[in-house]
Every structure is written in structure tokens, then in C-alpha cells.
Chain A
Amino acid sequence: MLTRRHLLAAGAAFAAELAIAGRVLALEDAAGNKLNLPSPPRRIVAINPAMVETVVAIGALDRLVGIGGKVSYPEQVRGLPSVGGALGFSVEAVLALDPDLVVMAVGTDAAAQLTRPLSAMGVPIFLATYSDFASILNYMRRLGDALGLRDGADRLVARMQGTIAELASKLKDRPRLGVYMETGAAGTAAFQTVRAGHYADDGIRLAGGRNVFTLAGPRQVTVEGIADADPDVIVVLASDPSLKPEDVAGRPGWTALRAVREKKVAVLPRGFMLIPGPRQAEAISILARAIHPEAFVP
């Protein structure tokens, strides 16, 4: 029996063929920096949360025709068709939306699965590469160029830089505090942390802190390693919204940490803090409030 799903799949395949036959597009390099689009793209599929947020923030919400399955912000994109994501991405679902630009981040599942087939089909791809904070601003400007919305991108970047500058003036008389930032844990073990070169490491610096673990340093530490680094402040990025600083302080052996004894433990939402998009400046100011709460007392 033909179900609705079968019909949709057949429609997707048909649309895919149309997309290939109907237009001839110049092949692009996948790095995103030499993107020669014939005209500003009108039908954009953006896949990773940071990419969707950036497309919207630089003013192209009305051109967005599809998003990745795990995107839930901003509100306005929620009704848009999904091209998959939970169990992998569908080339056909992307092609069915007839996009003239697909925006993805390098190193993600989406880029790994979609770049080759979409390139082969002649669909232009914008691949954002980023590591530190500056490179996030850089991909935003380049995406602005690609969309013909450089002004919007410049305004977004200026707004983010403004937030950072405001922070800097608030924090200028504050000591630079040592910070241990935890990005993951398995039960009471396998504590993951950030290294230099990651935008979260920049975030710590811009928030008036100093990552206690350095470039050649660890990615997984024990409570002993943290105690040896002796952070002034502990910031735990957690997926569990009910996790409290007391829960962190109650981990076995953690009372040995000075920051725990001085109650300098903050728990922040991981999903918000680790999205390398337009809200990163806001994430950094939230981090600054966790590191230097006294600087924000009115």
C-alpha cells in the first residue's frame, strides 16, 4: 500500500531530479572563502544551530527554507522543514527544498555526510570554519558576503564586539581569575575540559578569566588534576538543567578544591554556552557574571 510517506519520498526524488536538471550551477570549493555565486542565494538551507542562528541574525530569515533536525532557536525557524539530523542527514530532503545555498559548519556530521553528494549535484555549499572567537566573527562576515548581506553581518559582528567591549570596561579593574571549565562528565568521572584555541577558551579570557589548563594541557582530568591547577572559579557546563552547584561540590573528593570551599562554583547550560553563533557574546557575558559576580552588582 502506498502511504503518505512513500508519496513524499517519491516527490522528494522527483524534485531532486528537477533540481539537477533545471539549473547549471558553478562548482564551488568547499572551504567557503572563494564562493562565486551567480546571484545572492534566495533559498537557503542552514543545518547546524550556529549556522541557522547566524543566517537569521544577519537578516535572511525570509530566505531560509530548511534547517537541521536539532535546531530549536530562534522561535521563528521552528516550523521550517527539517532535512534530518537525528539519524543522519538526507541529501534528498535537502535537494527537495531546491536550495541555492547550503550552510554548514566544518567538522560536523552534516558536513561529513552532505558536502560530497551536494557538491556532486552542483549545489553551492558554504562551509564555516571556526576555532577561536575571532574566527567565529570571521565566518559571519564571509557568510554575509555570500548572502549579499555584508551590512547585516557587519552589524551583527559590531553588536557582538560591543558586548565584549562593554564587558572589558566592566572588568578592567578586576584580577584575572583562574577558571576550570567543565564541558562534560560521565557520572563522577571523566571530566572533560577545554583547551586553548577553542572559542570557549577565548570566552574565558574575554570574561576576565584565565583557563587553568593550557594548550598542551589535558582534555580529561581528575579532581587531583583540578586541585593541582587550583582554579579560583569552577564553571560546569551541564546538560541537566536541575544540576546545582551543591551537586558539583558534593562529588567525591571535590571539597579538596579551593573554589568549592569558597563556593565559587557555577553551573551554566551547555547547549547555550557551546553554540559558536551570534549568542556567543551573550554566553561570554553570562560566563563573566559567573567568574566576576561582584563586577555586575549595580
Chain B
Amino acid sequence: MRPGALTLSLAVAIALIGILVGAMLGVVNTGPLRLLAALLASDPTPDDVLIAWRVQRVTGAFLVGACLAIAGVIYQGSFRNPLAEPFLLGSSAGGALGAVFAILLPLSWLAAVGLPILAFVGAWGATLLVLAISRAARIEDAAGMLLVGIALAALLGALRSTATLVLSDESVSLRALISWTLGGLQSPTGATLLVFAVLTAVCLIASLGLARRLDILGFGESTAATMGVDVGRFLTLSLTVAAFATGLAVAWGGVLAFVGLIVPHTVRWWIGERHAPLLLHSAFVGGGFLAILDGLSRSLLAPSEIPLGLLTSLIGAPFFLLLLVRRYR
């Protein structure tokens, strides 16, 4: 289907339905009118507070999904590799290292800085480091950067394991840490949620600015160079944006594998390869997808919370396989 007003409305509808369904699902399922009443209540009852929390959390899940989808599209376009995903250049290893310190170090100043900020610093910092090393070594092609990323991810993974072993004892819960690496959706509220939403919008706008050059890059690095794209500089720019989006997602959602892979591909099959519409549609669809999964994670085995990353893979992978089989048949 050619992208246009119709497909974009559909994508926005998926996003809105995703947020609505996600917010309706919970330990006690809630109708849409009740959601509205709770959000507008001037003197909120405990139930209203709970529902408002749920709506904010689902909105957070939406933003995390949007960020991962945006990052996925940029990574796949930059590396011209359909297997590229947001955690490629050390983002998850860096984010997890930050989370280890936030969870395992009983320091009050650290608690004030908070898990999201440390996770963001780790996730974004790791990729910036990959880019800096690549620059210093004059590695300008995607394959070379990938290898730098793999090496750095291994190093950061080792540091994380070391920190986990050294810092953990009876006083900390390793289960909470493991759960975070399977997707630990934080609950941003009020101003924090607003900042998160604004930063996600900035990511989307920045990524749209990359779209034309991503299209050109699709013809190959040498063709792109003859068409006036400085490939090395462009990769640094595009990967910086993608890593920022990934960092945002890690900060608020933990490590959620697979979303950045499955959403862009599904959307690509739907509306085609051009990057501007692909980014826009993926952001909405990815957000809606994760919002629904968050609802399921809170309601399927209620009152248990299923770590979100388990669901993205358990539900997302068969769904993706189904689409794949239908497409190739």
C-alpha cells in the first residue's frame, strides 16, 4: 500500500487504540468512560489514582515503543541490514551497566539520580563511545562500526557481570535486576512524562530530517557518495540520533529486545521502503504495539506482572513469523 493520508490515519488509529486497550487492561479491567472520569476527577479517589497511574504508564510504554521503532528504522537504514536493531552498538550493554549501579549500589545520591538517568547515560554513552572510537580509528563504513560495537558491548557486558558479582549480596535483589533486563517499564508521571514525550517528538523530527539521506544510502555507500552524501559523517549523525532514541527507551523501558526489529519490518511490508513515511508510521505502530503488550503484562496473570520483554518475544515473535511466512509464500 502506498503511504498517504489513509495509511497515516490508520497508524494513528493503531496508536490510539493501543493506548486505550492498554489502559483498559489491568488487574481490574476498566471501561473507556471510567478512564476518562478518573483522569478528569477533581478530587481523585484511590481508584482514580490507580487508573491515572495506569494511563500514564501506558503512555510511557507507547513512547518507549515509538523510540525503539524509530531507532530500529534508522539502524536498519544506516547499516542497510534488515537484521540491525536498536541494541546493536552497545546500547543495551551500556544501559544495563547503568542499571546495575542504580539497583545494586545503596547510595542515596544515586537513588536521587535514579535508574532512568543512569540507564540513559549508559545506553547513549556506549554508542557515542563506539562512534568516537570509530572516528579516532578512521573507520567510516558500517561493517567496521559494527565490529567496534560488538567489541565494546562485550567489554561492557563483562563490566556489568563483574559489578553484579562484586556488589550483590543478601542486601540486594538480583531478581529485580534480571527483571529489568527483561523490560522494566518505569512509571513516569507528570512533568517527567511530559519531558519524555517532548524528547520522543524531538527524536521523531530529527529522524525525519535524516530520512532523505537514508533513502539515498539505500543505493549503496558509493552511490550515496556520488550523490553528495558524506557517508562517514552522516552515519555518525544518524547513529547518534538512533542511539539517543534507544537511550530514552532503555531509560524508561529497560532492555526490550525485538520491538525495534519487528515493528519496522511489519510497517515496511505495509507501506514500503521510503524512510520518511516509514519512520512516522513505525513510531505510531511501535508505540501502540507496546502499549497493548503493557496492558497484557499487567492483566494476563494478574496480580502478577509479567516482565514486558518476555511478552514482546513470546507474542511478538510468532506474530512476526506468521507475517513472514505469509509474505514469502
**Partner-B contacts on A (CB < 8 A):** 49, 70, 86-88, 183-192, 213, 217-229, 238-243, 247, 251-253, 255-258, 261, 269-271, 274-275
Residue B173 is within 8 A (CB to CB) of chain A in the complex: yes
Q: Are B305's CB and A228's CB within 8 A?
A: no
Q: Are A256's CB and B115's CB within 8 A?
A: no
Inter-chain contacts of A275 with B (CB < 8 A): 170
Known: A86-B166, A218-B303, A227-B50; 15 extra A-B contacts, CB below 8 A, are A49-B169, A87-B166, A88-B165, A187-B103, A187-B186, A189-B184, A192-B175, A218-B301, A227-B27, A239-B104, A239-B106, A242-B111, A243-B111, A252-B188, A256-B50
Q: Are B170's CB and A186's CB within 8 A?
A: no
Measured in the bound complex, the distance between the Cα atoms of B187 and A222 in whole Å is: 10
Size of interface on B: residues with Cβ below 8 Å to A: 52
Residue B275 is within 8 A (CB to CB) of chain A in the complex: no
Measured in the bound complex, the distance between the Cα atoms of B47 and A228 in whole Å is: 10
Q: Are B176's CB and A256's CB within 8 A?
A: no
Which B residue's beta carbon lies closest to that of A247? B111
Which A residue's beta carbon lies closest to that of B167? A86
Looking at the complex, which one of A70, A186, A253 makes contact with B176 (CB distance below 8 Å)? Answer: A186
Q: Are B170's CB and A271's CB within 8 A?
A: yes
| Chain A binding surface, main DSSP class | mixed
Given A192-B175, A225-B304, A225-B305, are A255 and B46 also a contact pair (CB < 8 Å)? yes
Given A87-B166, A88-B165, A271-B170, are A188 and B187 also a contact pair (CB < 8 Å)? yes
Looking at the complex, which one of A70, A221, A228, A252 makes contact with B189 (CB distance below 8 Å)? Answer: A252
Given A189-B185, A240-B107, are A257 and B46 also a contact pair (CB < 8 Å)? yes
Inter-chain contacts of A252 with B (CB < 8 A): 53, 56-57, 187-189
Looking at the complex, which one of B171, B177, B184, B298 makes contact with A271 (CB distance below 8 Å)? Answer: B171
Looking at the complex, which one of A88, A228, A239, A251 makes contact with B172 (CB distance below 8 Å)? Answer: A239
Residue B116 is within 8 A (CB to CB) of chain A in the complex: yes
Question: Which 7 interchain pairs have the tightest Cβ spacing?
Answer: A184-B173, A253-B53, A225-B303, A271-B171, A218-B304, A187-B115, A184-B176
Inter-chain contacts of B104 with A (CB < 8 A): 239
Measured in the bound complex, the distance between the Cα atoms of B50 and A229 in whole Å is: 13
Inter-chain contacts of A226 with B (CB < 8 A): 303
Measured in the bound complex, the distance between the Cα atoms of B44 and A261 in whole Å is: 13
Which A residue's beta carbon lies closest to that of B116? A187
Given A189-B184, A228-B302, are A253 and B50 also a contact pair (CB < 8 Å)? yes
Measured in the bound complex, the distance between the Cα atoms of B168 and A70 in whole Å is: 9
Q: How far is the CB of B270 from chain A (nearest CB, A)?
A: 32
Residue B42 is within 8 A (CB to CB) of chain A in the complex: no
Residue B114 is within 8 A (CB to CB) of chain A in the complex: yes
Q: How far is the CB of A279 from chain B (nearest CB, A)?
A: 11
Inter-chain contacts of A217 with B (CB < 8 A): 303-304
Measured in the bound complex, the distance between the Cα atoms of B186 and A191 in whole Å is: 11
Inter-chain contacts of B303 with A (CB < 8 A): 213, 217-218, 221-222, 224-226, 228-229
Which A residue's beta carbon lies closest to that of B108? A242
Residue B162 is within 8 A (CB to CB) of chain A in the complex: yes
Q: Are A241's CB and B27's CB within 8 A?
A: no
Inter-chain contacts of A258 with B (CB < 8 A): 46
Inter-chain contacts of A224 with B (CB < 8 A): 26-28, 50, 53-54, 298, 302-303
Measured in the bound complex, the distance between the Cα atoms of B53 and A188 in whole Å is: 12
Inter-chain contacts of B184 with A (CB < 8 A): 186-187, 189-190
Residue B49 is within 8 A (CB to CB) of chain A in the complex: yes
Inter-chain contacts of B283 with A (CB < 8 A): none
Measured in the bound complex, the distance between the Cα atoms of B305 and A227 in whole Å is: 13
Inter-chain contacts of A261 with B (CB < 8 A): 46
